[in-house]
Chain A
Amino acid sequence: MMNLWKTIALSVGLMTLSAPALAGDLGLDVTIVVVDQAGAPIPTAVIRHPAEADRHRVNTSNGEWTTDVLYLPDGSELIFEKGMDLTLEISAPGYVTQKISYQIRKRKNRATVQLEKMSVILEDDEMDDPVIQFGRDKPIDGAE
């Protein structure tokens, strides 16, 4: 009989201790997939909330990033809840940074973001080809 009471007390205690963890699980998972214009995942992409200091790398194999909470610089948590408008900045080297806004639903929170390639090349009109000077003034006496 004593053993039974001990078991019940232990179970209650464990449930009490795990309450915060259960509360954390209340956030809704949001998945962002970053792809290029051809639909291929961009392994070097990073995702960041504007209020956040850190950048989150996507999975290098499939370009996905999933979370249900964000930790802000002031120590607070941003738990994803249904109906919340989520703003994210997605960038990758060689691509134009994109800012998206996503409204969190009850389930199936999955968004695909397509990044546009950024081409930083020198145009023809921006280049002028200087002539190699001979490093002297032209002598007034002619070629000799």
Chain B
Amino acid sequence: MHKLTLVLAMLTGLAATSTAYAGWGDFEAAFPTLPCQDGWASCIQGGQVVSPELGRDRQGNPTPGDMRVAWFDLQATAAFSPFVDLSPYTGEARVAKAEPVPVAAPAAQPSRPAATSRPAADVTPPSRGTQLARAEEPVPNRGNSMVRPGSGTAEPVAAPHEGGMTRPGSSVRPSGAEAGTAEPAGVAAPPPVESTARTEAPVEAPAATGGMTRPGALTRPVAAEGTDAVAAVEAPAATPEPPAALISAVTPAAPVVVDDSCDNIVKLEPSAMMGKLSDGQTACLEASFAAAGKQTDKDRISRVLMTNAYSKGDQQEWAKLMKRHLEDVDQSDPDLCYKYALYLNKRGASRAYGVIKWSNVALENRTVWTGDTYTTRVYSLYKLRAAASQTLWQAAEEKNAVNPTDETKGQVSEARNQTKVYAREWYEYAKAAGKDTTKALQLCVSAAGTAEYCEGQ
């Protein structure tokens, strides 16, 4: 009877507990699914981007991205609480005020301004940095920059690209109206400037302090194409409106900055990782590589080029760059040697010498690796090398079987000895690393003729 009472009491308690617990949905307010509207990648907190990368505390000291409280002053960092005051996301395209558009077209030709009067538009700023490009500031072209005016017809207006920034050594190419056509959508019946000018302007920061905005909202320009998004453009009250006669001369094409410079290699790395380096940038990097005096400079340039080719999927080009890097620049990086040996291994028996060579070089520098990486890669390299030497041995035997000479016999003997040695090294490492030794032993016995040699007896 007592047991029955006890069991009933426990069941009742369990039922009560399960009803008392709540699901994650009950804590939605405290732990929103996506605190940043654009996901977890990064937020903007108090005007500072909070991301997994290094941040800055109030004194400007580098701070880990996940540190809530600064180390030196114990003040809250931008990452202190990412869950307060989420900025509402309305789904509307928020376009900030447009840059005042200086108009230089002649008023006498209001109907087809773009087709008739287009001076060359070179909007490259005169100095490095992040100056806003102005249409009225022609700058001589320098370095690797290119100026691509739209098919001989230039636009008097050059809106800033990508947050209103341009880069020295860059060229400006009209894009919005498709440079070749040189006629914007609204030219035939020029509406007011608020509704026609295709502008790119930074979106205003949210007013709420400590609130969150979508990552990139401060810097991502919104290209208002057509009239849908144009309706949201609010020209600032203080902006002087150009005379109506000149409005029609405004060519609302947004320029695209084609940056073929390669002065700052670090800036090219993201593009290279996506295989998006332009032909001009690649050519610039190649020229820099040829001109570089230091091996370290060559090394950096070469790596960017290799990464770009690899990410682009251009294996032939990548292999060519890799070979050049390893033979002319540096072969101390076992990662590269290993990667190249893997590639050559897939290319067939004709690359067996290359596989052996680069496997050997990678093994010389294998101490760079640690842990599982070390074990896996060293095992793979021993195996690659033994397999490649077996391929050579087989080829030598077949050649000797067809037409036996002293030379072919010597080649067979050499290839077999090499296979014997490499297979034994592979077997010994596999045994030491606790890997499967079956294949290694088979190959070793096949080449040596006796198991005693392979077992080290």
Contacts and interface: CB of A to CB of B under 8 A. Distances in A.
A97 B383 contact: no
A75 B229 CA distance: 99
Given A130-B335, A132-B307, A134-B300, A55 B380 contact: no
Contact of A132 (B303, B394, B445): B303
A121 interface: yes
Given A60-B402, A93-B390, A97-B446, A122 B384 contact: yes
Contact of A120 (B54, B62, B390): B390
A48 to B, nearest CB: 6
A118 interface: yes
A42 to B, nearest CB: 9
Interface in B229-265: 264
Interface of A is mostly: loop
Interface in A17-69: 43-44, 46, 48, 50, 55, 60
Nearest to A53: B449
B339 A93 contact: no
Given A128-B376, A129-B339, A143-B266, A118 B397 contact: no
A120 B383 contact: yes
Contacts of B201: none
A132 B401 contact: no
Interface of A: 43-44, 46, 48, 50, 55, 60, 89, 91-97, 118, 120-122, 126-136, 139-140, 143-144
30 contacts: A44-B394, A44-B397, A44-B398, A44-B400, A48-B449, A50-B450, A91-B445, A91-B446, A93-B390, A94-B394, A95-B446, A97-B445, A97-B446, A120-B386, A121-B387, A122-B383, A126-B383, A127-B380, A128-B376, A129-B342, A130-B336, A132-B310, A132-B335, A133-B335, A134-B300, A139-B266, A140-B62, A143-B267, A144-B264, A144-B266
Interface of B: 54, 62, 264, 266-267, 269-270, 299-300, 303-304, 306-307, 310, 333, 335-336, 338-339, 342, 345, 373, 376-377, 379-380, 383-384, 386-387, 390, 393-394, 397-398, 400-402, 416, 419, 439, 442-443, 445-447, 449-450
